[in-house]
Amino acid sequence: MQSDRTGALRRLVEDIVPGERVHPDWPMARETTFRCGGPADIFVRVADEKELVALLRALKAAGAPWFLMGNGSNLLVRDGGLRGVVLQIGPAFGGTQVQGDILRARAGTLLSQAARAAADKALTGLEFAAGIPGTVGGGVFMNAGAYGGELKDVLHSVRVLNPESGEIYTLAAEQMQMGYRHSRLGETGEIALEAAFKLAPGQQAAILARMEDLNARRREKQPLEKGSAGSTFKRPEGYFAGALIEQAGLKGFSVGPAQVSPKHAGFVVNNGGASAAQVLSVIEQVRRRVLENAGVALQCEVRIVGEDG
């Protein structure tokens, strides 16, 4: 019955998207930086707004579940995978354009590419994003940030799609309700299609030097060579998650190949072959031990989705 349903979904999707971008029973370990997770029934690489609108209309009419993702850099998919259709807003949905001090980036553009495009035009303000592995769409969704900078600091406006009505409209930055790792998109379900960032003229050499300095600090202090979703926990007010985890004696703690990074305790990593269940076990034990040790309830920054295996 499940295979019949998946076959019907595949036919529905392939009426809109060329078959080479439609992948049935697709392992999400290939599409997330945690490098683990079960399969999606159907995985689709969406190329543009027209495709996205058509897909959402067809899926709504069929009553089929769907899930939207970007680069998979802040996502943990459980071992049972995702039912229905996963729509990836990735590189095919990318591209930037600069007009004066405004940089426009389509949702699938990597944040690192947006930062580089700004630097190419000697525009300053996005240097902090040079090493963030996510997309512009995902970054706006969660107000991504690093090294004291956040997207809300430079956000001008966002073109969004209402998946229920199919309407496309523009929201000003002040309408986006941006906060720490938060925007209104998480509540409304609106989908970012393109973001505009208001930057400032700068010295290109200084901009590039700042980007390289931040990337060098990342390489030195973060376990970039391991599978992870970056910082696993949100920063608790008045504390640093990594320090709390280290104080609880958990630096290097592991469940199979899933581990609290010995390099930076704020990162849970996959050393190779970890299941999502093992990663989740590390996360939950860290939260429990830190609560017991310091009385601080850590909140997971990573989005956790899918069914248990």
Catalytic residues: 181, 231, 301
Structural tokens at position 45? 């690489």
Q: What is the largest CA-CA distance in the chain?
A: 61
Q: Which residues contact 63 (CB under 8 A, 6 or more apart)?
A: none
45: part of which helix (H) or strand (E)? strand 39-46
Q: Is 109 left (phi over 0), alpha (psi -120 to 50) or beta?
A: beta
The rounded distance, in Å, linking the Cα atoms of 79 and 9 is: 21
Q: How far apart are the C-alpha atoms of 213 and 191, rounded to whole Å? A: 33
DSSP SS3 for 270? strand
Structure tokens at 168: 């496309």
